[in-house]
Structure 1
């Protein structure tokens, strides 16, 4: 595999051009391979960089978010090099980064790396994309202050200073806007002299399966994390983080957009290598598809989803909120109304996803309402021919959000003439999205 830190993205529209989403006009039948999980990749990289010896990670996602993580870990002292199709990680003594760490728009970078920088000591600055300052990070920074760091702001850009070392061993944190705060603290907790006690003080933590993923992956590195009160209180025991050779699962959230493509066109798309069991929240798409009426079946090739008459439903995506755009696409093609709830926190993702979904589907002619914690979408089953490319400039706006681009691509399958203004934002988690999408559409 090429080094994600230097890999180039697949060819797409030139700067200033717009992408015409394919509209095949027939059922799709394809087997699709998707890259490794972003969530697993970045957790594996952090654990390897903090471990007690070299390790090899196979299947790491090659995308902007992982490139940013690799650059950040290198800046803090880790050695990370490509070895054939794998990455070899050699932990080095942690030290302050000489240059500001670029977080882009990557939640895992802006929430996993500051605790590592605090562990390293010294002064470290964090910057990001234009919209990075709008992504919530203040609760994590407050937790690091409780541990002994000083930080000069509550959003990106900020500078962290931990020259005096981390003296605390307990934090109280409101993680109701992101489970990544808890995961970021868990990943470094074992390296603190007395470990780390983490108490969540807010409402339910979103995407809680990601915390389970962190605990499971840390356990493979012999890190002991106790859940003292489910979803509320965790204890990370001190000790070495053991080196462990990791293999990354396919990214099931990225896979969901391809599964849904088969369903929307009345065909069948199969995801190769779908794991039998997974802690990834994206695995929830299987249950959602079945609940709405799609045929979902495992085979030796992988997991396939086939088109059927879809029915609207009420679905709480609090634990798998990244699926909201693809479930919204299913809702458009269903009969009746689909209510997506439990996702108020996605207003703080790459964009305000609730507002963005409502806006772009509305411009296509889909009846949709914003709810306090989600969306109500009236399905267009039997009336898809009434939908039309967006009014005004005729573009589906991606809002610089890769998940919105996935929604636009799905709408293009059933609405002729849809053009995306920024399909390149898919490089955040899938640099070759266009190539994979076109290959699926062209498969026979």
Structure 2
């Protein structure tokens, strides 16, 4: 991941009043690319995210035999083609690439080695690789931590499929990985979950996208079945990334004023849509508008004091860094719970947030599954980001009220929002 000098997060000198376009959803983009590669014909994916994670997925699919072409209107992805020989997949620190592509390699003919950044070797993957082995995949660990990169998948030209048990409690992506690939197994795949799934919205997203591409997934509580079938969808349009919109959504709550986010979907499976409920609970307002120069979208307004909150973020864990930063400005104590799985993300997000917010004067303590945040005056200092894009966004939120917040390595936000710093600065420049 590239590094650059720290970024001084700009102070909000006035109430915000801006329109901010956010890029396409990473979760949707990479699912769409995988489903397109498993389809019978090519798919034009419109408005996809163009970021490091998305480019890593494009590179992985190319290595596995799927043609990927940037064209007017989006990215065209063709079906995976058989081919002998060896290939290498660079995972970077992209969880979706690490979890969604090994099954594709197992269904192909190549011998594929998977590795990436040092951070990806620490992220949980073993339950998924174990489930793929149970379904007949030939996967070899290559030293280091068993069930983690680097590892090699030896394709045997397809897998029969069948029934498998899976512990997806560390990441819903384990389950999504099996369900996305299931139509290409000879007999489909039935998954019986053991343990809890961290993010039901992401599972709903996977099931919805499978249906859009022509699959027929079924669910009975903890049992999921996707039969073998032919996928086909000539075009698919990616929604804006509502999780990447989070700092812009909360900006009016911290600084007052309003922000308009074009193209916010009225109906979506994205967990970030929960932000509309949070804004209401914190005394702000959201409204879908259709008569602006920038088209339809969501307008968020805020101002006034922020109450302390008790929030179970189990279903929306990726929003935790931004919400933790927001709650540092609350009038009373807050508790975030249900997010123990964040310890296995890009970094241990709970430890990182507790450490960095406390270093800036905050009163933040870790719990087994979250954080306790008590009111305390914050001061200037360096906010370390641990190569985690969501922590860059959290640092930006802190800077709205606290002068002198130096956000370390803002380039890491390119994982999901390459233009974030410029968009954030423009929002405040237009508002001043």
Structure 1 residue aligned with 2:172: 179
**Total equivalences in the alignment:** 420
Q: 1:164, CA displacement in angstroms?
A: 6.9
Counterpart of 2:197 (choices 195, 200, 205) is: 205
Q: Is the 8 A contact 2:36 2:233 kept in 1?
A: yes
Q: Where does the alignment leave 5 or more consecutive residues of structure 1 unmatched?
A: 1-8, 381-385
Structure 2 residue aligned with 1:339: 335
Structure 2 residue aligned with 1:377: 373
Query: Does the alignment pair 1:109 with 2:104?
Result: no
Counterpart of 2:425 (choices 438, 441, 444) is: 438
Q: Where does the alignment leave 5 or more consecutive residues of structure 2 unmatched?
A: 142-146, 291-295
Alpha carbons of structure 1 residues 271 and 164: separation in structure 2 relative to 1, 3 Å: closer
What TM-score do you get using the length of structure 1 for normalisation? Answer: 0.91
Structure 1 residue aligned with 2:401: 414
Q: 1:170, CA displacement in angstroms?
A: 1.5
Structure 1 residue aligned with 2:358: 362
Q: 1:298, CA displacement in angstroms?
A: 2.3
Q: Is the 8 A contact 1:141 1:151 kept in 2?
A: yes
Q: Is the 8 A contact 1:78 1:94 kept in 2?
A: no
Q: 1:99, CA displacement in angstroms?
A: 3.2
Could you list the per-position Cα deviations for residues 402-423 of structure 1 after superposition, in whole angstroms to 9, with x for gaps in the alignment?
Answer: 0011111111111100111110
Q: Point out 4+ residue stretches in structure 1 off by more than 3 angstroms.
A: 94-99
Alpha carbons of structure 1 residues 368 and 105: separation in structure 2 relative to 1, 3 Å: same
Match of 2:219, SS? strand
Structure 1 residue aligned with 2:293: none
Give distance in 2, aligned partners of 1:242 and 1:438.
Answer: 41
Q: 1:54, CA displacement in angstroms?
A: 1.5
Query: Does the alignment pair 1:274 with 2:261?
Result: no
Counterpart of 1:49 (choices 34, 37, 40) is: 37
Q: 1:137, CA displacement in angstroms?
A: 0.4
Compare 319-328 and 304-313 and name the one that shifted more. Answer: 304-313
Give distance in 1, aligned partners of 2:330 and 2:427.
Answer: 23
Alpha carbons of structure 1 residues 290 and 161: separation in structure 2 relative to 1, 3 Å: same
Match of 1:26, SS? coil
Query: Does the alignment pair 1:215 with 2:203?
Result: no
Structure 2 residue aligned with 1:169: 162
CA RMSD in angstroms, aligned pairs only: 1.6
Alpha carbons of structure 1 residues 296 and 97: separation in structure 2 relative to 1, 3 Å: farther
Counterpart of 2:320 (choices 294, 319, 324) is: 324
Query: Does the alignment pair 1:130 with 2:123?
Result: no
